[in-house]
Every structure is written in structure tokens, then in C-alpha cells.
């Protein structure tokens, strides 16, 4: 079992997070609208109050959010994933549809932090 964080429970994110939970992974989740997480919490996921909280102790962090601004906030915001200081080598995956410039900036930031990054 892997400690997984999933951020963003829209149409696609909710289904992806559900599959991770069904596969037996320990799942910590964050969504701006907490009520979207109810079905996952009923199945054993832990709802967190911020991306920072969700990312603590994660081996894998996945984000699936609406746009560049939302992505920037969940990764670099005051309560973002990177403020949790993920361990070197943690795999971070950005699944959102984002601008090329932001993806390059995010990839560079992940590399500076010695994280494994996939978009």
C-alpha cells in the first residue's frame, strides 16, 4: 500500500481518486469544495483542510485542478503542497490542463526540491 495524496476532486479527479482507494492505497484528499469528497471519505479516505496537510507523509502526490491559478495555489500557495516539504524522491504528478510556461516552472521547482515530477 502506498500513501497517496490526491488534490482536486472534479469530474476526472474524483474517479481517479476512487480507483486509487479501491486499489487499496492509503488516500489523503483535498478539494476546495469539501462536500465533493464525501463518497471517498465514506470509503476510508482522509479529508484534509489544505494541500499542505494532505501532502504530509505522502509517497505520491497527484493534482487534478482547473487551471494554472488553481495549480499554482495547490503547489506553491501558503498552504500548498510544497510548504509541507515532501521528502526527496517523492513522486509528484500534475494531471491538470495547464499552460506550457507554468508546467516548466513547476517542473523546475520540483527538481530544485529533489522530487520526481511527471505532468
- For residue 1, pLDDT over 80 is answered with no
Average of pLDDT values for 96-100? 97
The residue among 119, 91, 87 whose CA lies nearest residue 105 is 119
For residue range 45-82, what is the model confidence (pLDDT) as tens digits?
Answer: 999 999 999 999 999 999 999 999 999 999 999 999 99
For residue range 12-51, what is the model confidence (pLDDT) as tens digits?
Answer: 999 999 999 999 999 999 999 999 999 999 999 999 999 9
The model's pTM: 0.96
Contact of 5 with 55, CB cutoff 8 Å: yes
The domains found in the chain, sorted by start residue, are 3-118 (3.40.50.720)
Secondary structure of 75-106 in HEC code, one letter for each residue: HHCCCCHHHHCCCCCCEEEECCCCCHHHHHHH
**Contacts for 106 with CB less than 8 Å, ≥ 6 apart:** 71, 75, 94, 98, 117, 119
Amino acid at each position: 500500500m502506498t500513501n497517496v495524496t490526491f488534490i482536486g476532486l472534479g469530474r476526472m479527479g474524483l474517479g481517479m481518486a476512487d480507483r486509487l482507494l479501491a486499489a487499496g492505497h492509503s488516500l489523503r484528499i483535498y478539494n476546495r469544495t469539501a462536500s465533493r469528497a464525501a463518497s471517498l471519505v465514506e470509503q476510508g479516505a482522509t479529508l484534509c483542510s489544505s494541500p499542505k496537510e494532505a501532502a504530509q507523509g505522502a509517497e505520491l502526490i497527484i493534482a487534478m485542478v482547473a487551471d494554472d491559478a488553481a495549480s499554482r495555489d495547490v503547489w506553491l500557495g501558503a498552504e500548498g503542497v510544497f510548504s509541507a516539504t515532501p521528502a526527496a524522491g517523492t513522486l509528484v504528478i500534475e494531471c491538470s490542463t495547464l499552460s506550457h510556461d507554468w508546467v516548466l516552472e513547476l517542473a523546475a521547482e520540483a527538481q530544485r526540491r529533489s522530487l520526481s515530477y511527471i505532468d
